[in-house]
Structure 1
């Protein structure tokens, strides 16, 4: 079978960028724009309390 016969269905398989890892390896880590570990403790505590309040609100609304 020729190369043109293999790809005659009309679309490409490229990603537009070169991969630098093997097909079975995960993508390399990317720098995070923010990290929960870099947040002050008070901000983390506030975020946890806010998330907990939202989850309890969902439970409350589901029980009604």
Structure 2
């Protein structure tokens, strides 16, 4: 019984570590994504505006 418990706790610790590492990686990627998007919002906005203008002209 004690051996099973030890194995279970070890597996649980590994699982928690994996989850924590995955969460940290995801948050880091999210931050990097937001930084890259925030660095060049004007170009995106201008592209959207030009697209809207083109669609309005067509209509």
TM-score normalised according to structure 2 size: 0.42
1 or 2 for the larger relative contact order (CA 8 Å, sep ≥6)? Answer: 1
More helix by share: 2
- Give the TM-score normalised by structure 1: 0.39
